Amino acid sequence: MCRFDRRNINRIHKMSEYRYFKVTGGKIKAAVDDFCKTRREQTRNRIEFAKEVGAVATYANESEVIGFVFADGQTTPKGWVCVSAENKAWRPFGNAKGNRKLFRRMREDYKLWGCYQLQELVQEQCGGNLNVFRFMIGNRFKLMSLEFQETGLALLCVPAGEWDSAKQKWTPPDDGCVELKMSEYWKMKEDAK
């Protein structure tokens, strides 16, 4: 199961600023499945990359691999420096040819899909053109995100706000994506506990 939600990418927002849709089938389910499949594959590639350099995991954000985590007691390669305060993540240091290639791979080859790519997939499935400024207020740029319940049910979180008038309101393309009332959303959260 894909474990991607807005907590994983440090997005903090008020609940009233989002509308929640239960994804059960249809075109949106296809977009969510594509997103999760790609995300799992990218995560697997990062794990393989870590094993390739002798580490157990990568220390990274969505846009790049920052360093590598080595097992307790395992010695780090000579010439590597610590990148985290906990002394658990290390990266190569210096301008040697091998290090430059490794840095390039860390920055460019192991990116993860995030909310922007999710919104692109959803908009494509809706047959619409992606307007990245659709959910923008002033200098705040909001994107759709996913939240997964313990049951495996996917919820699509769609930004709402002043622009969300009846004329501009985002609507799902079919019956496979049903909007939840806030009371239903909170009941679902409480039932999961």
* Model pLDDT, residue 133: 58
Q: Rounded to the nearest 5°, which phi and psi values hold at 182?
A: -60, -35
Show me where the domains of the chain are located.
6-38+114-192, 41-108
Q: In what order do the strands lie in the sheet with 80-82?
A: 57-60, 65-69, 89-92, 80-82
Q: How many CA atoms, within 13 angstroms, populate the side-chain half-sphere of residue 93?
A: 10
* Model pLDDT, residue 48: 93
Q: Are 178 and 54 in contact (CB under 8 A)?
A: no
* Model pLDDT, residue 165: 57
| Contact residues for 103 (Cβ-Cβ < 8 A; gap 6+) | 92
* 3-class secondary-structure state, position 159: strand
* Model pLDDT, residue 168: 64
Q: Which residues make beta-bridge pairs with 119?
A: none
Q: Are 70 and 64 in contact (CB under 8 A)?
A: no
> What digits encode the pLDDT tens for the residues 34-68?
999 998 999 899 999 999 988 998 888 878 888 88
* Model pLDDT, residue 166: 57
**Pairing mode, strands 136-137 and 140-141:** antiparallel
Q: Which residues make beta-bridge pairs with 137?
A: 140
Alpha-carbon distance of 191 to 37, in angstroms, equals 28
Query: Which among 118, 120, 92, 123 has a CA at the least distance from the CA of 105?
Result: 92
Q: Rounded to the nearest 5°, which phi and psi values hold at 145?
A: -145, 175
Segments of the chain scoring below 50 in pLDDT: 1-13
